[in-house]
Amino acid sequence: MSYENILVETRGRVGLITLNRPKALNALNDTLVDEISAALDAFEADDGIGAIVVTGSEKAFAAGADIGAMAKFSYMDAYLTDYITRNWERIKTCRKPIIAAVAGYALGGGCEMAMACDVIIAADTAKFGQPEIKLGILPGAGGTQRLPRAVSKAKAMDMCLTARMMDATEAERAGLVSRIVPADKLLDEALAAAETIAGFSLPVVMMIKESVNRAYESGLSEGLLFERRVFHSAFALDDQKEGMAAFVEKRAPQFKHR
Ligand code: CAA
């Protein structure tokens, strides 16, 4: 399949999606989000893929939704087309883990896209922000919901209400990103992390993703119950037998379901 706004390739057992609208700092539009959704469908159906990396350019992961395209929108244009968000949750529903590798600007929808992924690895050049208020709108692809869960209410309010940007150090301290790496190592580090994940048992990887997401979306008792049920079900897997036998026999595991 050919895409207009993204580049899609495979590196080992990792699917790589690169946002590719360099002239507009990877500004997001419906076509781009639809293409990401199609690429995720293909990676999810591919047994050779165990994890996915989404990245942008050196200057911008993505500078938000395309302002030029939105400028003349009426309420009906936005509402009837479910602008930007009609395929957004496909990132969340993908059962294989997605790492956002972020360098430069991740603003508005760009920050929201990174937050919709499972892990954010940031280059030391990364800058995160929800500056929609400057345009007379508010974050519309999860910013007001995912940011407080990631960084606390106070910081999310600060970011959304003042439009200030957070640099990589502040973002790591606040818990928005999992690690910071030098900009020239960003893709290698993200691909290496994804390859590590892709080397484990895929059903276990999926169980962990589902369980952590449950923590994110439910209360503690419900989350603990969910985890316990999934934990016990892991004992039905061949890969559990193999993983534990390998430990006991002091050898590397050969997982069957990768
Ligand atoms: N939409 C469309 N085009 C964009 C864009 C966007 N979000 N962000 C940058 N561009 C374009 C610029 O118009 C410019 O194009 P031209 O060369 O044709 O003029 C090009 O990308 C380079 O941008 P700048 O010249 O502005 O680059 P800079 O280095 O001076 O500034 C920046 C970089 C601070 C990121 C600045 O471009 C900027 O503030 N961009 C807008 C950020 C923003 O407001 N994002 C939120 C969008 S709304 C949203 O995302 C809603 C939602 O929740 C889904």
- Indicate which atom in ligand 1 lies nearest the CA of residue 68: 2
Report, as residue numbers or ranges, the catalytic residues. 65, 109, 112, 132
C-alpha Rg value of the chain to the nearest Å: 19
Ligand 1 atom with minimal separation from the 134 CA:
44
Q: Where are the beta strands (DSSP E) in the chain?
A: 6-11, 14-19, 51-55, 60-62, 98-102, 105-107, 119-123, 127-129, 166-167, 179-181
In short, whether 239's Cβ falls inside 6 Å of ligand 1 is: no
Q: How far is the CA of 69 from the centre of ligand 1 (A)?
A: 12
| Whether residue 67 has its Cβ less than 6 Å from ligand 1 | yes
- Does the beta carbon of 63 lie inside 6 Å of ligand 1? yes
Tokens for 210, please give them: 């589902």
As for the ipTM of the complex, it is 0.98
Distance 74 CA to ligand 1 centre (A): 21
Sorted by sequence, the CB contacts under 8 Å of residue 37 that are 6+ apart come out as 87, 90, 91
Model-level pTM?
Answer: 0.96
CA 254 to chain centre: 28
In the chain, what is the straight-line distance between the N-terminal and C-terminal CA atoms, in Å? 25
State the residue for tokens 């919709």.
116
Phi, psi of 89 (to 5 degrees): -70, -5
Q: What is the pLDDT along the chain (258 residues), one digit of tens a residue?
A: 789 999 999 999 999 999 999 999 999 999 999 999 999 999 999 999 999 999 999 999 999 999 999 999 999 999 999 999 999 999 999 999 999 999 999 999 999 999 999 999 999 999 999 999 999 999 999 999 999 999 999 999 999 999 999 999 999 999 999 999 999 999 999 999 999 999 999 999 999 999 999 998 999 999 999 999 999 999 999 999 999 999 999 999 999 988
What's the order of all strands across the beta sheet hosting 105-107? 60-62, 105-107, 127-129, 166-167
Q: Is the CB of 139 under 6 A from ligand 1?
A: yes
Distances (CA, A) of 156 to 99, 124, 176, 193, 247: 22, 21, 11, 28, 43
